[in-house]
Chain A
Amino acid sequence: MVKLSLVGMLRRSLVHRRARSISALVAMTVSAGVATALLTLYADLDAKLHKEFRSFGANIVLSAPASAPLPTNALARVQEAAGPDALAAEFAYAVATTDTGTPVVVAGTDFAAVRRLDSWWQVQSWPDATATDAALLGQRAAQFIGNEHAVALTFAGHSITLNGAGRIKTGGDEDSRIYMPLAAFTAWAGVGPSVIELQVPGGAAKVEATMARLRQEFPEMQVQPVRQLVEGESKIVDRTHALMYGAVLLIALTVAVSVLATLSASVLERRRDFALMKALGGSQMQLMGMFLLEALVLALAGVAVGFVVGSAAAWAISEGNFHTATLPRPSVLPLVLLLNVAIAAMAALFPARVLRGLQPAALLKGE
């Protein structure tokens, strides 16, 4: 008689009932895949959401007191204090008179920086970065200007004629202002920048920390958060996070119970096999061990396939929804493995109660 090794029995058990093995494997793969996809997305969620919130623009405003303008290297120092991924733009303001004699706020700034910072501005065409005399006219301010192409402004007796590049529309204070390049503004009005608008990515804690650093660096300046933005962002990110957490748990539970059902059905269906093994002298422990091993092999195979499938799904979801890729995260692997093994172990041990009460003779007789 050929002596069956444990591995041989396992192999036969898996191969012989192929349909059953495949359906169990599919269930384990789905559970691992869903867990991988959701955990990968979940780990990336905060960063992705904070990125979306960047479109709201500046969340910190630094303003210099009227008596002392900003030091010349202020922007570089602010950028350094806030980190490389923060966006900053400086503004200088003066009240000038237009060619129709209306007072208007003229702001000097760096168009390239503003364009990145304030993506919600609706601008017909951004002026060329090299143009020194280009001007953007707020849509309300434009109504008080005689000639929109050659904008003549007077400030403290100095006049300047700017080349109107187009109108901006924001629905805010910007609509009543005229924007021009900072260098030309300083040369004309003799006023340096007084305000730096800063956009720090991240939640309230990060904004607070950056503000504390800035206050230390610039004790003479007023550092103010744009409160509604900072508070709103944290609140929404937290809520979405919690929602996603709920969804992950819910789906994981569904999949787990279904896998449990599939696997334990397979145990119960093979009561006859167990009765036979028991009748031939197998102990309860041996039988359970055998079964556990089978479930674990299926679970591991499920994790291997599921991780690939789940990472692909996470990538597709974030590419489709956030337009940025989410790379596979090996760090979720231990958790997925743990989850799958736990499900498999439970599925194998769940019917133990039924098997313990098994009377081999009665079952084999067909009762």
Chain B
Amino acid sequence: MFFRLLMESFRRQRRRKMLAGVAILLGTTAVTAMLALATTIGDRIHKELAVYGANIVVYPKADLLDVKVGGVDLKPASGGAYLKESELAKLKTIFWGNNITGVSPELPALMAIARKAGDPLIAVNAVGYWFDHDFNTFKTGAPTLHPWWRLEGSWPIPRSNPDSRSVVVGTNLAKKLGLKIGDTFVTQGTQSAPSSRLTAIVAGIVTTGGEEDNEILLTLHDAQAYVGANDAVRRVEVSARTKPEDAFARVDPDSLSPKQREIWYCRPYANSIAYQIREAIPGAQAEQVRRVEQSEGNVLKRISGLMWLISAAALLAAGFAVSAAMATAILERRGEIGLMRSLGASKGSIALLFYAEAGLLALIAGTIGYLLGSGLAAWLGARIFAGDGVAAEAVLIPVLLPVVVALALVVAIAGSSPSIRTALRMDPSTILREDA
């Protein structure tokens, strides 16, 4: 009987159910979409912030001091310490190895070049980088860590021919020498043999707005061959997904108790990732780039904070809307309540029927709303953050389903509660007479 009442009520009063149902549906859609956006906003903004480049730098601990003024490096070319390129593979093995999203080693060298054979040589800075290097499961290198670099042509390609090398030239240098893509020029063959010569082919011209505009960019392997130091890198830039720094992140891990230290170690702070890099690569010093890391944390915190607050506002608005709609739906049906009571139904069984209706409605509309909201969030996210090369991510966040449906249930039942109680308190004969 109870189920029949329930079913008939849904079958016959379709319009009334529609009103409350649509309110719940829209409420849950909005809340699901906002929550789904708020939970993924951190990752999305982090990807956007990747344009600021690396947030951790690694250099050899025993290195000489950089003496760099206005893009001119006065550091003695000889001496200094190197890291080993082969040891960079160890970055994958650290605790937060999966959070490392980009690695770019570099090896600077002073190179003598001339436009044509026989011309006087001029000295320029050259830097060896990775370009599109296979690292772990992803490809990385200087272009991915410096997304603001503008390239015409293509990045240097490793050459099998030992007599020539493919390079990219900074825009200012290219202008000075009158170089275009596809041109060749003459470079010193190796640093140790000043009279040796090699041909270089300009594969591309890069504009960076920085020192690189006056430099030559070549593959790390070519730079190592030129310097005569196999496997050597001078500095490594690392981009990692990190947790914004808080007071706990700033403490010195060696001063903590073993348990606290473990907690510190297992949080993806820039400091703890740097610490793990120092542990993994002997002789390396890793530091967070404070300009990027500190400010990134700030911006990230503000934007995700804003999203959460907006989600809370959406929740509140949806809650109000749903409970208002539920109250209306019950208010409309006082006549029914009066009739049932006069036919001998107990207050409890009537209340149960109405709560069951509200619950069923919340369950159905909430689930549909969850699906719609997830779709909407995915669509909005894809539209707003389009063109970042973001891999297709899971559209549905399963955790949200029980949360959203439970919220819908609570709000629907709480919203209908006062009106049910008022209706039950009234004398059935008064209601029926008023209705007639």
- Across the interface, A232 reaches (CB within 8 A) one of B19, B49, B64, B376, namely B49
A95 to B317 CA separation, bound complex (whole angstroms): 63
Assess the A56–B22 pair: CB atoms within 8 A: no
- Across the interface, B19 reaches (CB within 8 A) one of A265, A313, A366, namely A265
Assess the A321–B305 pair: CB atoms within 8 A: yes
Assess the A53–B328 pair: CB atoms within 8 A: no
Assess the A240–B303 pair: CB atoms within 8 A: yes
Assess the B65–A20 pair: CB atoms within 8 A: no
- Across the interface, A255 reaches (CB within 8 A) one of B37, B208, B317, namely B317
Assess the A266–B328 pair: CB atoms within 8 A: yes
A interface bracket (residues with beta carbon within 8 Å of B): 35 or more
Say yes or no: is B307 at the interface (Cβ < 8 Å to chain A): yes
Among listed B104-112, B136-144, B275-283, B319-327, interface-contacting one? B319-327
Assess the A53–B299 pair: CB atoms within 8 A: yes
Assess the A105–B67 pair: CB atoms within 8 A: yes
A242 to B307 CA separation, bound complex (whole angstroms): 12
Chain A residues whose CB sits within 8 angstroms of the CB of B290 once the complex forms: 120-122, 169-172
Assess the B298–A258 pair: CB atoms within 8 A: no
Chain A residues whose CB sits within 8 angstroms of the CB of B147 once the complex forms: 228
Say yes or no: is A215 at the interface (Cβ < 8 Å to chain B): no
A175 to chain B, nearest CB (A): 7
B5 to chain A, nearest CB (A): 22
* Interface residues of A, dominant DSSP: helix
Among listed B51-59, B80-88, B357-365, interface-contacting one? B51-59
Residue on B nearest A17 in the bound complex, by CB:
B331
Assess the A239–B321 pair: CB atoms within 8 A: no
Chain B residues whose CB sits within 8 angstroms of the CB of A169 once the complex forms: 287, 290
In chain A between 311 and 355, which residues have their CB closer than 8 angstroms to a CB of chain B?
313, 317, 320-322
Encoded as 1 (CB less than 8 Å from any B CB) or 0, chain A from 280 to 323 comes to 00000000000000000000000000000000010001001110
Chain A residues whose CB sits within 8 angstroms of the CB of B27 once the complex forms: 254, 258
Assess the A236–B324 pair: CB atoms within 8 A: no
- Across the interface, B321 reaches (CB within 8 A) one of A105, A144, A226, A254, namely A254
Say yes or no: is B205 at the interface (Cβ < 8 Å to chain A): no
A238 to B70 CA separation, bound complex (whole angstroms): 33
Assess the B302–A56 pair: CB atoms within 8 A: no
Residue on B nearest A141 in the bound complex, by CB:
B65
B316 to chain A, nearest CB (A): 8
Q: Given the interface contacts A49-B302, A227-B209, does A243 sit within 8 Å of B37 by beta carbon? A: yes
Which residue of B44, B299, B306, B316 has the most chain A CB atoms within 10 A of its CB atom?
B306
Encoded as 1 (CB less than 8 Å from any B CB) or 0, chain A from 82 to 125 comes to 00000000000101000000111100000000000011111000
- Across the interface, B380 reaches (CB within 8 A) one of A236, A243, A258, namely A243
Encoded as 1 (CB less than 8 Å from any B CB) or 0, chain A from 250 to 292 comes to 1101110111011011101100000000000000000000000
- Across the interface, B322 reaches (CB within 8 A) one of A103, A236, A240, A258, namely A258
Q: Given the interface contacts A38-B310, A251-B313, A269-B331, does A225 sit within 8 Å of B209 by beta carbon? A: yes
A239 to B302 CA separation, bound complex (whole angstroms): 14
Chain B residues whose CB sits within 8 angstroms of the CB of A119 once the complex forms: 294
Assess the A105–B69 pair: CB atoms within 8 A: yes
- Across the interface, B26 reaches (CB within 8 A) one of A175, A194, A254, namely A254
A61 to chain B, nearest CB (A): 10
Say yes or no: is A359 at the interface (Cβ < 8 Å to chain B): no
Assess the B376–A250 pair: CB atoms within 8 A: yes
Assess the B34–A250 pair: CB atoms within 8 A: yes
A41 to B313 CA separation, bound complex (whole angstroms): 12
Residue on B nearest A243 in the bound complex, by CB:
B384
A236 to chain B, nearest CB (A): 5
Assess the B65–A144 pair: CB atoms within 8 A: yes
- Across the interface, A243 reaches (CB within 8 A) one of B30, B57, B70, B307, namely B307
Say yes or no: is B23 at the interface (Cβ < 8 Å to chain A): yes
- Across the interface, B48 reaches (CB within 8 A) one of A95, A236, A244, namely A236
Assess the A55–B295 pair: CB atoms within 8 A: yes
Say yes or no: is A128 at the interface (Cβ < 8 Å to chain B): no
In chain A between 169 and 212, which residues have their CB closer than 8 angstroms to a CB of chain B?
169-173, 175-176, 194-195
Residue on A nearest B287 in the bound complex, by CB:
A171
In chain B between 209 and 265, which residues have their CB closer than 8 angstroms to a CB of chain A?
209-210
A189 to B383 CA separation, bound complex (whole angstroms): 56
A169 to B64 CA separation, bound complex (whole angstroms): 17
Assess the B51–A30 pair: CB atoms within 8 A: no
A140 to B285 CA separation, bound complex (whole angstroms): 11
Chain B residues whose CB sits within 8 angstroms of the CB of A366 once the complex forms: 436
Say yes or no: is A146 at the interface (Cβ < 8 Å to chain B): no
Which residue of A93, A105, A243, A266 has the most chain B CB atoms within 10 A of its CB atom?
A243
Residue on A nearest B302 in the bound complex, by CB:
A52
Assess the A246–B148 pair: CB atoms within 8 A: no
Chain B residues whose CB sits within 8 angstroms of the CB of A56 once the complex forms: 52, 291, 295
Q: Which residues of B line the A interface, CB within 8 A?
A: 15-16, 19-20, 22-23, 26-27, 29-30, 33-34, 37, 41, 44-45, 48-49, 51-53, 56-57, 64-70, 74, 146-148, 208-210, 287-291, 293-295, 298-299, 302-303, 305-307, 309-310, 313-314, 316-318, 320-322, 324-325, 327-329, 331-332, 376, 380, 383-385, 419, 422, 436
List 7 additional contacts besides A19-B331, A27-B324; criterion CB under 8 Å.
A53-B299, A57-B291, A231-B51, A250-B30, A250-B314, A254-B30, A317-B313
